[in-house]
Structure 1
Amino acid sequence: MALVGTIETGLFLRIESALTRGGPSSLVPGYTITGMFLYAMMPALGEMATWLPLPGATPQFCSRYVDDALGFAVGYNNWYAATFSGCSDLSATAIVIQYWNKEINLTRVLWPGVWITVILVSITLLDCICVGIFGEAEFALVTIKVFTLLGLLILALVVDLGCGSNAHRLGFQFWNDPGAINTYLTTGAFGRFLGWFSVLINASFSYVGIELVAGRPSHFWRILFFYSLGSLAVGLIVSSKDEQLLSAQAASAPGAARSPWVIAIQGAGITGLPSLINAVILSSAISAANEWLFCASRYLYALAKLGKALPIFLRCTKRGIPWAGVWTTALILCVSYLDVSNSGSSVSNWLSSISAISNCFTWGSVSIAYLGFHRALKAQGIDRDSLPYKAPFQPCASYLALTFFATVIMFSGFSAFVYRFDRQEFITSYITIPIFFTLYFGHKLIRKTSLIGAKDVDLFSGKQEVDLDGELNDEVPPKNMVEKVLNWLFFRKRSPETQNASLDGLSG
C-alpha cells in the first residue's frame, strides 16, 4: 500500500523538475539524504506501534504521549493531506490522458472533465461497494509499477552503455557537459546551493505517504533503493539542459511527454515504449487516487471514533464501510475539476505542494510523539531492550529528523522570495502552517489541554489485551516465484481484511 502511495508519479514525472533545477549530481544525494531522514522517523513509528498498536496511530500516539491538542491537529492534517493528494492524482489522470491527443484527439470527443468524472465515480463506487477487492486491485497495480521501474532501470543501463539503435555510449557524459550541478534562481555558489536544496524539497514531495509502511518500517530501505537508483539513472541518460525536456517543462506538456525516461528512450531510437510508460503513469495516478480516497475516509472515521469529528462519520454500511467519510471526501475531490482549465497543471502542482507540506507536519509529529514516548519509558523505568522492537539510534535520530522536516517546511517556498515576490508560490507553500497551528491552539484553548509529563504518560492502558491476543500475522505466503521476488524486494502481500484493518488502525 505504501508503495502505491509513495511511488505514484514521482519517479516517472516529477523528477524532471529536480533534474533541471539541481543537475544530475544533485539528484542522488538529494533523494538519498531525504530518505535517510525518513528512515530515522520510520523505525520510531514502528517502535511505538509494536509496543501498543492504537487505532488512529499517529494522532493517537501524539494525544497519548504528548498532548491531545497535537493529536487533534495531526488527525485533521492527515485527512486533508490525503484528500489533497487524491485531488492531485485525480487531476494528473486528466493531464496524462492528454498525451495521446497527438494520435487520437480525445479532447474533441470527450471533455477532459469527463475523464475525471469517470475515474472519480469508479473509485468512489469501488470504495463503497467493492472494497473487498481493494487490496487485490492495489496489489496488482503495485506489481505493474514495480516491474516497470525495474525494467526502466535496466533500460537506463542499456541506453547509457549505448545499446540503442542510435548507438552512443553516454557514461557520465551529461555530468561533464552541461555539468554536474546546475544553478537555480541565481548564479555562483549560492545558485548551486539553491539548486541542490530544491532537489531536497522535491524529494520530500516524492516520499508522500511513506508512513503507510508502518507495518514493517525497518524495510523502508527498499523504497530508498528505488529512489536512489532511479535518480542516478535519470541523471545518466538525460541532460539537465535537454531542449526537449526544457520545452516540454515550459509548455506543461501532458503525461509522458515531459518524462525524462521517455525523452531518453526516444533519444535512443526506441519506439513503442513511450505510450506504454504513459499507460503505467496513468494507472499509477488512478491507483494512488483510489488509495487516498480510501485512506481519507478512514481518517475521518477514526477521528469520529475518538470523538474529534462529527458523529455522522461513524455511519457505516452493513459491510462496515464508512460511507459518510467516503462520500464527503469524494465531494472534496471535485476540486480536481479545476484542472480542466488552461492552468490545470498548475492546479495539480499546487495541490501536490499543499499535501506534501502537510505530510512533513505528519512526519515531524511522529518524531515529537516518539520523543514523548522515549522520555516516558525512561521516566517510568522501562528498559527499551524489553520492547518488541527497538528503533536504532534513538532518540538522536528523532531529533535530527524533526529538525530536517521543520527546515523543509520553513524553506519549502524559498523561491517565492527571490527577485519578485510570488504570491501563489508563497500561499501554496505556507498555507498549511497557519491551518495546522490554528487546529492545535484552537483545540488547546477550547478543551484546555496541556502537555503530558513523562511520568504521567499512559503506557499500559489496552496493552494487556494486545499482549493476550499475540502478534497478528497478516502476511499471505508467496504463491509463486513472482510473489517471492516481490516479497524479498519490496513488500509483503496482505489479505484484504488486514489491509483494511491496517489503514483503519495503524495509519489512520
Structure 2
Amino acid sequence: MDDKTEYADTAIQPVASGEQTAEVVKTPSGDYGADSNLHRSLGSRHLSMIAIGSSIGMGLWLGSGTSLMKAGPASMFLGYLLAGSIIFAVSHSIGEMAVMYPLPSGYVQWTNKFVDPAAGFALGWAYWFAFFISIANELQGICTVLSFWTHAVPIAAWVSIFWVVIVGVNIGAVRWFGEIEVVGATIKFGFIFVAIISGIVLSAGGGPKGGYPPVPGGSMGFEFWKTTPFINGFKGFLSIMPTCCFALSGSEYTALVAAETKNPLRSMPRAVSAIWIRLSLFYILGSLIVGINVSPKDPNLFGAFGTNASPFVVMFRNDGVDALAHIMNAIIFVSVLSAGAINGFGGSRTILGLSQIGMAPKIFQKADSWGRPWYALAPTLLIGGGLAYVNISETGATVFGWFSNLTSLFSLFGWAMISLSHIRMRAAWKAQGRTPGDLPWKSWIFPYGAYWALAWCVILIVAEFYLAVWPLHTAPSAKGFFRNYISVVAILVLYIGAKCYYRGRRWVNITTVDLDESRRFYADNEYEEAEMRKKSIFKRMVRSV
C-alpha cells in the first residue's frame, strides 16, 4: 500500500511558523517528522543556488594553485574528475534521503538512524569541527585574496572585519541568508563563463601578449600538458586529493538546507540535477583551463614564493589582461566570503541536529521567532573566527594546508557515511516489505552510485595514510603524520568513545528500524506541484532542442 494512502486519515498539524506553508503529518509513533523550531522559509531557487555555489570557495579558486604546483595539470584534472564523480554519487544519495527525511543535520541523523549511533556521534562532531575550521580557512583565504591589492592593512584587521560580516549574514532571518547566498552563487556562476571563455582565447594566443610564456607559433595550447603533465608521480597525485576533496566539500550542505525548505520533494531533485553544472563547469573544465594556461612552476601561484595569487588571476595577469585579473580577484573575494557564511549556517544546523538526537546539550535546539538557533550559531561562529587568527603568525598557504587536510578527511568520512546510510536505508526499505515505487523520489544511479562513492572514500582515506607515513619531499615524522592524519585519529577517538557509551549492536537492525519516524509525509498537492515542476523543466529542454 502506498504510504501517503496508508496515513491519509492521520492528523495533519501545521508547523509552528508564520512563514511556513507546507504541512507535516503526525506519524503513528507520535513523532513529528522533520519538525523543529527552524522555519521552512527557503524555496527551490534558494536550494538550487546554494547547491551550485556552496562549495565554490577557497578550494577551487586558490587551492587549485597548490594542486597545479605539486602534481601538474594532468594530475590536477584527474583529481577533480575523481572527486567530482564521488560527490555526484553522494549528491544522489542525499537527494533521495533528504526528500524522505529533511532533518536539520541530515546526514548525521541518517547515520544515527540507519548505520550506528556511535558512527552518527563521530560524524556529527567531526563535521562540526570541520565547519568552524572551514570558517577560519575562508577568513584566511580572504586575507590572501586582498593581499593581491595591498599589504598595508594588518591581517588581524581583515580577519576582524570579515568575521563580523560572516556573523551578520548568519544572524539575519533565514530568508535573508538564502537571498544573500543566491546573489553570491549568481556572481560565481556568471563569471565562471567569462573565465573559461577567456582562458580558451588566451590559450589560443588571443591575448595581448599572444600567450604566456611564448611558445612556437604564439599559441600555448597544451604546452604544459606536454612538458610537465605529472609532477612527483603517483605520490604527487595523492598529495593533491585532500585539496580536491576540500574544494568539493560543501556540496553536501543541501542535506542541511532541506530542513528549512518549503517542499523538499520539489526542491531536492532540482538541486541534484544541477550538480553536473557545478562539476563540469567549475571544477573539471575550470581545472583544465588553468592547466593549459598557467605553468606549474609559476612563482606567483598560491603556495609559491611570489604574489600568492589564484591561478585564475595569474592566468589573466601573465597574458596582460590586467582588468580581468582585478575583476577575477574581486569575484574570488565574494566567493570565499560566501563560502564562509555557508559554513556558519552548516555548523549551527549540525550541532542542532546532534542535540535533537540526544548527542549534544538540549539548549542547542532553541531558536527564536525568526528561526535563528542562537545557541548553535554562537559557538560555531566564535570558534571559527577565533581560529582564523592563527594566520597572523604563519603564511596563508601553510595554514591552508593544515586546515584543508583536516576538513578533507572529515569530508571523505562524511561522504562515506552518506553513501552507507543510503545503502542501509534501501536495505531496510526492502526488508520491511516496501518497494522503491513507494519512495517519494528515487535516485536513478542507485545502487551503483552509492557503492562507487563508498568504495573510493575508503580507498582515499587509506591512501592518505600512506602519504602521512611517507610524505612528499620530507622525511617521515610524528609531527607530519598527525598534521596530515589527525582528523582520522579524531574520528576514531570519537567513535570508540561513543561505542563504549552507547554499546548495543554493531549495526542498527534494519528489520526493526522505524522507517516512518522523523519522515516527511507529503500531501497530494505537494506531489502534484513537484510533478508539474518536472514537466515544466522537460518542456523547456524540448523547446531548447
Residue 269 and residue 289 in structure 1: after superposition, are their counterparts in 2 closer, same or farther (change >3 A)? same
Q: What is the CA-CA distance between 1:27 and the residue it aligns to?
A: 2.7
Q: What is the CA-CA distance between 1:220 and the residue it aligns to?
A: 1.8
The answer for the alignment partner of 1:202 in structure 2 is: 243
For 1:382, what is the secondary structure of its paired residue? coil
Q: What is the CA-CA distance between 1:336 and the residue it aligns to?
A: 0.4
For 1:180, what is the secondary structure of its paired residue? coil
d(CA) in 2 for partners of 1:464, 1:212 = 19
For 2:62, what is the secondary structure of its paired residue? helix
For 1:408, what is the secondary structure of its paired residue? helix
148-157 vs 394-403, which deviates more? 394-403
Aligned residues: 459
Q: What is the CA-CA distance between 1:296 and the residue it aligns to?
A: 0.9
The answer for the alignment partner of 1:378 in structure 2 is: 430
d(CA) in 2 for partners of 1:464, 1:129 = 27
d(CA) in 1 for partners of 2:361, 2:370 = 21
Among candidates 481, 486, 489, match of residue 431 of structure 1 = 486
Among candidates 77, 92, 97, match of residue 126 of structure 2 = 77
The answer for the alignment partner of 2:187 in structure 1 is: 144
The answer for the alignment partner of 2:162 in structure 1 is: 119
Residue 343 and residue 156 in structure 1: after superposition, are their counterparts in 2 closer, same or farther (change >3 A)? closer
d(CA) in 2 for partners of 1:459, 1:432 = 32
d(CA) in 2 for partners of 1:58, 1:283 = 28
| Deviation per residue, 1:56-96 (Å, 9 max, x gap) | 32112112112222222222222111111111101211222
For 2:132, what is the secondary structure of its paired residue? helix
User: Greater helix percent: which structure?
Assistant: 1
d(CA) in 2 for partners of 1:95, 1:169 = 31
Q: What is the CA-CA distance between 1:224 and the residue it aligns to?
A: 1.3
Residue 425 and residue 205 in structure 1: after superposition, are their counterparts in 2 closer, same or farther (change >3 A)? farther
d(CA) in 1 for partners of 2:159, 2:200 = 36
d(CA) in 2 for partners of 1:53, 1:200 = 30
Letter in 1 for 2:350: Y
d(CA) in 1 for partners of 2:444, 2:393 = 49
d(CA) in 1 for partners of 2:522, 2:161 = 43
Letter in 2 for 1:426: F
d(CA) in 2 for partners of 1:235, 1:443 = 45
The answer for the alignment partner of 2:178 in structure 1 is: 135
Contact residue 416 and residue 454 of structure 2 kept, 8 A: yes
Among candidates 279, 284, 287, match of residue 231 of structure 1 = 287
The answer for the alignment partner of 1:283 in structure 2 is: 334
How well do the aligned residues superpose, as a CA RMSD in angstroms?
Answer: 2.6
The answer for the alignment partner of 2:303 in structure 1 is: 249
| Deviation per residue, 1:437-476 (Å, 9 max, x gap) | 222232222232322222122212354744578459699x
Q: What is the CA-CA distance between 1:274 and the residue it aligns to?
A: 2.1
Contact residue 111 and residue 418 of structure 2 kept, 8 A: yes
d(CA) in 2 for partners of 1:386, 1:269 = 59
For 2:274, what is the secondary structure of its paired residue? helix
Residue 61 and residue 469 in structure 1: after superposition, are their counterparts in 2 closer, same or farther (change >3 A)? farther
The answer for the alignment partner of 1:492 in structure 2 is: none
Residue 117 and residue 131 in structure 1: after superposition, are their counterparts in 2 closer, same or farther (change >3 A)? farther
Q: What is the CA-CA distance between 1:312 and the residue it aligns to?
A: 2.3
Among candidates 266, 282, 286, match of residue 317 of structure 2 = 266
Letter in 1 for 2:381: A
The answer for the alignment partner of 2:202 in structure 1 is: 159
Residue 404 and residue 353 in structure 1: after superposition, are their counterparts in 2 closer, same or farther (change >3 A)? same
Contact residue 68 and residue 449 of structure 1 kept, 8 A: no
d(CA) in 1 for partners of 2:89, 2:107 = 16
Matched, 1:335 2:380: no
The percentage of counterpart residues that share the same residue type is: 30
156-165 vs 115-124, which deviates more? 115-124
Superposition map of 1:331-410 within 5 A: 331-333=382-384, 334-410=386-462
d(CA) in 2 for partners of 1:146, 1:341 = 34
Segments of 5+ residues of structure 2 without an aligned counterpart are 1-49, 211-217, 256-267
How does the TM-score come out when normalised to structure 2? Answer: 0.78
415-424 vs 372-381, which deviates more? 415-424
For 1:249, what is the secondary structure of its paired residue? coil
